[in-house]
């Protein structure tokens, strides 16, 4: 697999353009939507209302993917009936049920100023959600999100990147309650990876050479921790992590760094079908969505830390690489979207939607994006439904 990934790295050595995001359906005026699309949007908003009653974690300890998967389904074109059916199936499979919402409890301003002290404390999700809801209500989405994200950004890898992934979906859905939940989830699982400063006498490697070094490290740690989050933490403590970061071109602007990482992650997933690399693909989509909300000089080194740790955490020593089918033999996006909408596997749904997004925004070749989406939809390569950190 290393040789195939090395070829990709050399092809991706030049940064790709970073066009602005398109206006998501949630921000279009109602008159611009067809009746089925309007019904789907209304159903999504109603279901996200109810998602606020659910815990951010499932009974098995993994992350609750329902709100993220619902938004991804809507973006892929699922109608209102499909959103309802998926929700029913997900709740039943996970042993969940809606909690009836009563009158809102009076809120207190005491949580709001000191919310950063609660970062990294899963048990503080409730107070953090209250703080995020207060902040959104008092300041509005734009000012509050732009004020909060710099404090959350160093913990980009929170809950195997599900923190930023959920925030990105919530922002695009335009749902204040889900956004409060998503920001609180990211904050409560916040866990920065260690920074590494390059040795003064060592110049960063050129991108293509560095990518080859990263790929040659695939699977060398052979981590056996019980979750992706723990594997990320273990990888971040390894000498291999420090060596790779010390020679990485960390001074690239964040948008350019993102353009380097996306094709690498897509190719890695298309070749291996690895579950950890899948989270890099969907996490990088989240970074693209968040980029306009981040300050211009946001530390791109955070992305390098998460990318390197994620690559080292992936059990690629156990991967069975497949030859990639030629893009002209693969279904087009309409067929891939339809196949994803028929899925009950939340990870596959989010992966296919992320691949489509990467292609639509020019961050990777469209054929490569379809190769990765087709790998996720192949029966023998699908990750277990709702598996996660």
Residue pLDDT, tens place only, 303-356: 999 999 999 999 988 887 888 899 999 999 999 999 999 999 999 999 999 999
pLDDT of 224 over the 60 cut: yes
**137-166 pLDDT per residue, tens:** 999 999 999 999 999 999 999 999 999 999
Tell me the Cα Rg of the chain: 20
Q: Is the dihedral of CA 124, 126, 127, 133 positive or negative?
A: positive
Query: Which is more confidently placed, 105 or 117?
Result: 117
Q: ∠ at Cα 31 (361, 355), nearest 5°?
A: 20
Asked whether 69 and 165 are in contact (CB, 8 A), the reply is: no
- C-alpha distances (whole Å) from 98 to each of 95, 101, 221 are 11, 9, 41
Question: Sorting pLDDT into bands at 50, 70 and 90, what band is 198?
Answer: low
* CA dihedral for 68, 74, 75, 78, sign (positive or negative): positive
Domain limits, the chain = 2-19+202-381, 37-94, 118-188
The predicted pLDDT at position 337 comes to 98
Q: Which residues pair with 57 in a beta bridge?
A: 63
Which residues sit opposite 63 in a β-bridge? 57
Provide the angle, in degrees to the nearest 10, between the axes of the packed helices 162-173 and 275-290. 50
Contact 71, 285 (CB under 8 A): no
CA distance 281 to 144: 27
Residue by residue, DSSP assigns 282-309 as HHHHHHHHHGGGS-TT--THHHHHHHHH
Q: What is the pLDDT of residue 21?
A: 31
Please compute the mean of the pLDDT values over residues 69-92 and round it to a whole number: 98
Q: How confident is the model at residue 108 (pLDDT cuts 50, 70, 90)?
A: low
Q: What is the DSSP string of 29-81?
A: -GGGS-HHHHHHHHHHHHHHHHHTTS-SB-TTSSB--HHHHHHHHHHHT--HH
| 10 — pLDDT class (breaks 50, 70, 90) | very low
Least confident of 38-42, 194-198, 262-266: 194-198
Q: Given a cut of 50, is residue 27 above it in pLDDT?
A: no
Residue 24 pLDDT > 50: no
Mean pLDDT of 197-218: 79
Residue 58 has pLDDT above 90, yes or no: yes
What's the mean pLDDT in 55-63?
A: 95
């Amino acid at each position: 697999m290393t040789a195939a990934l090395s070829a990709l790295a050399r092809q991706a050595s030049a940064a790709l353009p970073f066009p602005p995001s398109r206006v998501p359906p949630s921000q279009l005026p109602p008159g611009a939507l067809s009746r089925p699309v309007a019904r789907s949007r209304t159903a999504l908003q109603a279901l996200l209302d109810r998602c606020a009653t659910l815990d951010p974690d499932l009974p098995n300890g993994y992350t609750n993917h329902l709100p993220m998967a619902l938004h991804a389904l809507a973006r892929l074109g699922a109608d209102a009936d499909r959103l309802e059916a998926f929700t029913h199936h997900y709740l039943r499979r996970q042993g969940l049920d809606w909690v009836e919402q009563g009158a809102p409890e009076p809120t207190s301003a005491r949580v709001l100023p000191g919310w950063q002290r609660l970062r990294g404390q899963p048990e503080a999700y409730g107070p953090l959600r209250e703080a995020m809801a207060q902040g959104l209500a008092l300041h509005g989405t734009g000012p509050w999100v732009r004020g909060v994200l710099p404090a959350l950004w160093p913990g980009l890898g929170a809950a195997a990147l599900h923190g930023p992934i959920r925030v990105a979906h919530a922002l695009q859905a335009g749902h204040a309650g889900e956004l409060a939940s998503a920001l609180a989830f990211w904050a409560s699982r916040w866990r920065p990876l260690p920074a590494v400063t390059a040795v003064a006498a060592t110049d960063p490697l050129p991108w293509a050479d560095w990518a080859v070094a990263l790929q040659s490290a695939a699977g060398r740690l052979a981590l056996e921790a019980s979750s992706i989050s723990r594997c990320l933490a273990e990888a971040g403590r390894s000498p291999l992590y420090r060596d790779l970061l010390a020679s990485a071109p960390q001074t690239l602007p964040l948008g350019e760094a993102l353009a380097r990482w996306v094709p690498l992650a897509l190719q890695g997933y298309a070749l291996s079908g690895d579950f950890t690399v899948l989270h890099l693909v969907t996490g990088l989509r989240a970074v693209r969505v968040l980029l306009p909300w981040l300050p211009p000089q946001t530390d791109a080194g955070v992305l390098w830390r998460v990318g390197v740790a994620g690559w080292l955490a992936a059990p690629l020593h156990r991967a069975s690489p497949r030859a990639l089918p030629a893009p002209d033999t693969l279904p087009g996006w309409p067929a891939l979207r339809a196949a994803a909408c028929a899925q009950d596997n939340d990870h596959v749904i989010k992966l296919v939607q992320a691949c489509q997004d990467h292609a639509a925004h020019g961050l990777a070749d469209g054929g490569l994006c379809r190769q990765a989406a087709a790998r996720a939809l192949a029966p023998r390569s699908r990750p277990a439904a709702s598996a996660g950190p």
